[in-house]
């Protein structure tokens, strides 16, 4: 009885101790001392030209926002001053350098309809109209020129004079895409997908479709199971049993073990705000994948890491020229 009371008290303490929230905070700029590199210098960060593959204007805007925020953080790390990004955006709009394209909200309503009990054919039609809404059709001439932000040297100098800047920062988003990690690693894939995946590639090479790939995994799994039974001196019944088990594991492995990877490629130019001349440029290509099966597999976290690394590498290289 006494043991039961102690156990109950322990469980209550464990439950009460588990109440509350888990907080993770990350302050991006943590400069203890003022850097001499960017001291008393101001940079104006312009929107990047986006030449990557994107499905809608909202996605383009958000990735551009994330790039500019990371640039602001990294320049702040080296003690560069920068005007408020919204002020820069407003100035560019007022000067007719960029245009505002309204986001079509009809896509949001159509997305909610997908959660209702429509037939598969109807849902396909809804997805089609969602795609049309996101692409904005021919609603704006700006929509036909996505990614371009050409400026003359006179316009660059004018922007610099308006914000009392020393440098104008521009760039291009060349690639911003997700893909599958192109190597076999049991720490990233898991043991079963790794073993059967290697056997599948050795036996059949690269499949043309998901259906053929799944069939290859099943055959590879069945073959592996049969070989295991044969090596262990199993009879015919055991060989069949192990073959069926292996085929089942192969079917499961074909839908697992996929390791996502985020690819970010950026080009940055820095121009002298007094003359408009390019004083530095460089390009970086960053690929980020989860370190193991226990890591965060969400694409937003992978793209966040890839973008932060890309920007940090570029601005560190620029700081060496100062």
Element housing 269 (H / E): strand 260-272
User: Residue 256 contacts by C-beta under 8 Å, 6 or more apart in sequence?
Assistant: 190, 192, 193
Domain hosting 206: range is 193-251
Query: 142: buried, middle or exposed (CB in 10 Å: 19+, 13-18, 0-12)?
Result: middle
Contacts 24+ apart (CB under 8 A), 101-106: 101/57, 101/136, 101/139, 101/140, 101/142, 101/143, 102/139, 103/57, 103/58, 103/61, 104/133, 104/134, 104/136, 104/139, 106/133
The partner residues of 179 in beta bridges, in order of sequence, read 261
Structural domain includes residue 179: no
Query: 48: buried, middle or exposed (CB in 10 Å: 19+, 13-18, 0-12)?
Result: buried
DSSP 163: T
Asked whether residue 160 falls in the same domain as residue 91, the answer is yes
pTM of the full structure: 0.67
Asked whether residue 314 falls in the same domain as residue 237, the answer is no
Asked whether residue 280 falls in the same domain as residue 200, the answer is no
CATH of residue 67: 3.40.50
Structural domain includes residue 50: yes
Per-residue pLDDT of the chain (322 residues; tens, 9 = 90+): 566 666 666 666 555 555 666 676 677 766 657 788 888 899 999 999 888 876 667 778 888 999 999 999 999 999 999 999 999 999 999 998 888 766 555 555 666 666 676 777 777 777 776 666 655 544 444 444 455 568 999 999 999 999 999 999 999 999 998 887 766 666 665 555 555 555 455 544 555 545 445 555 455 554 555 555 555 555 555 544 555 555 555 555 455 557 788 999 999 999 999 999 999 999 999 999 887 766 676 888 889 999 999 999 999 999 998 8
């Amino acid at each position: 009885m006494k043991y039961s009371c102690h156990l109950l008290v322990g469980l209550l303490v464990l439950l009460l101790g588990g109440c509350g929230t888990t907080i993770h905070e990350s302050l991006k700029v943590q400069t203890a001392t003022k850097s001499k590199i960017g001291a008393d210098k101001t940079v104006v960060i312009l929107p990047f030209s986006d030449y990557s593959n994107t499905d809608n204007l909202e996605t383009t805007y958000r990735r551009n926002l994330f790039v500019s925020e990371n640039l602001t953080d990294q320049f702040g790390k080296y003690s560069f001053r920068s005007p408020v990004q919204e002020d820069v955006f407003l100035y560019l709009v007022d000067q007719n350098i960029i245009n505002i394209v309204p986001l079509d909200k009809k896509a949001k309503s159509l997305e909610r309809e997908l959660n209702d009990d429509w037939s598969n054919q109807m849902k396909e039609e809804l997805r089609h109209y969602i795609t049309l809404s996101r692409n904005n059709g021919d609603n704006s001439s700006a929509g036909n020129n996505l990614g371009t932000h050409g400026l003359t040297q006179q316009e660059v100098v004018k922007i610099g004079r308006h914000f009392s800047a020393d440098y104008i920062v521009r760039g291009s988003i060349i690639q911003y895409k997700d893909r599958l990690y192109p190597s076999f690693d049991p720490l990233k894939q898991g043991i079963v997908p790794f073993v059967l995946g290697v056997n599948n590639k050795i036996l059949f090479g690269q499949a043309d479709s998901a259906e053929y790939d799944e069939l290859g995994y099943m055959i590879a799994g069945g073959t592996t199971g049969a070989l295991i039974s044969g090596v262990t001196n199993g009879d015919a019944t055991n060989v069949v049993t192990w073959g069926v088990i292996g085929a089942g594991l192969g079917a499961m492995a074909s839908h697992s073990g996929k390791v996502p990877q985020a690819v970010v490629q950026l080009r940055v130019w820095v121009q002298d705000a007094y003359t408009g001349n390019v004083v530095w440029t460089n390009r970086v290509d960053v690929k980020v994948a989860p370190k193991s099966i226990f890591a965060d597999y969400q694409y937003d976290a992978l793209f966040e890491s890839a973008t932060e690394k890309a920007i940090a590498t570029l601005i560190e290289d620029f700081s060496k020229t100062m």
